[in-house]
Amino acid sequence: MTLMQWFIFILIIQVIHGLGTWKLYIKAGRQAWKAFVPVYNAIGLMHIINRPWWWTILLFLPIVNLIMFPVVWVETARSFGKNSRTDTLLAVITLGFYNYYLNYATNEEHIKDRSLKPTTDVGDWVSSILFAIVAATIVHTYFIQPFTIPSSSLEKSLLVGDFLFVSKFHYGARIPMTTVGAPMVHDTIPGLNKKSYLFDDHYEDRKTSLVNKLQLPYLRIPGFEDIERNDIVVFNQPADTLLDMNNFHPDRNYYKPIDKKTNLVKRCVGIAGDTLEIRDGYVFINGVQNVLPDRAHLQFSYLVQPKSTQFNPKVLKDRYDITDGFGIMNNQNTYYFSAISDEALAKFKDNPNVVSITPNKKPKGERDASIFPHDPNYNWNVDNFGPIVIPEQGKSIALNIENLPLYKRAISEYEGNNVSVKGNQILINGEATTSYTFKQNYYWMMGDNRHNSIDSRFWGFVPFDHVVGKPVFIWMSWDGKSPRWDRFFTTVSGKGKATSFLIPFLILLAGYYVFSKWRARKKANA
């Protein structure tokens, strides 16, 4: 729904609320009209049920409000003497319409100073769990989100098995667009393998389905910094139509809301307005080769001819820091190494088992059909690509039949226009045009592991409305068998080798524990 449609919907909800509670407001010593005034009626209801006014804010936060509404329905019933399990059940399963029964069919008095402490251990436990979920959902959605590195596309900077904290407030927290879903899970409920949100993912129904009308339009709280070149960014994969990110051949395309597309983490090598080109695997921005931060290490794939037929994976990892897969690729005893950094390559060349090492790069002009824009007129591949101008908000790009494949998806899919071609004319929403002005900024995301990364080279630009946040901290790291202690509590960005703050953290934690014990003992003896 649009913002106007949501506004009308909320007004209708206010009328329904007012009709079902105005007598309850009177019983609580308030005037009946106060039950009909948007927001003000919610603040008044918080006073009636003896809860803090700021609960009103929670009623307007997507996903959080799915928990808070049932709580408020139950609390309203209890504020008028309806405390039984049956009353609680009826308040929830009637979606709050139990209030109509209280409003019109009962003579219960308002309990002004009722106790808020649960009367049973089970009630206390349920209350604690609910509000723990509410607090965690707010932090997860608007401040910090945990994230696990699933692939080696940023290997050496971020490793498979790194557990990150991703900041939502650096670039601005995005308001959830999906309003009905499970809290603190992404697209699938763990263990059940079921979709965690309400949405019709069939192509033919995605724009007409009633449940899809519950989607909020894109909104974002302002951040305090812009995305800069070489920032590591978490974002939703723009072209994601996979049911499972590990299965690239699903039975059909599964269309998803923006905030439920697969989360990826890559490096932003090109920002809005840049002209980007890839030459022999290296990125050039506005004609100048992009220089990565000193913690980043580009990796390419190589063909290695050995003297014997064996390489020891443990030796490769410990001595040369070669951690990605390798194996024999033909009968000539040639090994394919999927990723070797320049630093590792310099040392690996001196290995007595190595006869020759050849870069596995595709020549300029050799077309790869899987590479963006997937058009036969563009002979681009992963190593030689572009030049291409990255769209910028408020800036116009001249459009013609030749360059339309580069921008058609952004104009149609990401900005909601109908794009068609009639002869040599380009039609946008039925009108002939020779240019287009973009509504948002776009970015070019790539992995440092240049031959082992599915990134913008395959699906194009990343719109800003797909940006999730900025990784800032590695709180734990696991290599699959054991912990990487030197990566615990390290920062993602910065110069030089990352420093672990695990020991200072443990010292502070121990100090806080000792202080708490001392303070508790002092109070007990007072």
Which of the residues are catalytic? 153, 266
Q: Which helix (H) or strand (E) holds 346?
A: helix 342-348
Phi, psi of 503 (to 5 degrees): -65, -50
Query: What are 379's two structure tokens?
Result: 């002979």
Sign, CA torsion 301/307/311/315:
negative
β-bridge mates for residue 13, sequence order: none
| Residue 162 CA to its chain's centroid (Å) | 17
Query: What are 114's two structure tokens?
Result: 């009722």
Q: Which helix (H) or strand (E) holds 468?
A: strand 467-477
Q: Which helix (H) or strand (E) holds 320?
A: helix 313-320
Provide the strand spans (E) within 207-307: 232-236, 263-270, 275-279, 282-285, 288-289, 299-306
> What is the spatial distance between Cα 482 and Cα 476, in angstroms, rounded to a whole number?
11
Looking at this protein, which amino acid is placed at residue 87?
A: D
- Tokens 């499972």 sit on residue: 244
Looking at this protein, which amino acid is placed at residue 49?
A: I
* 380: three-class secondary structure by DSSP: coil
CA distances (Å), 115 to each of 13, 65, 74, 75, 213, in order? 29, 24, 14, 11, 40
Instruction: Kindly state the DSSP code that residue 413 receives in the 8-state scheme.
Output: I
The set of residues, in sequence order, having a beta carbon less than 8 Å from that of 268 and lying 6+ positions away, is: 227, 228, 229, 230, 231, 232, 233, 443, 444, 445
Angle between helices 64-78 and 98-105 (to 10 degrees): 20
Residue 391 near residue 407, CB atoms below 8 Å: yes
- Tokens 């109509």 sit on residue: 100
* 318 CB-contact burial (10 Å; exposed 0-12 / middle 13-18 / buried 19+): exposed
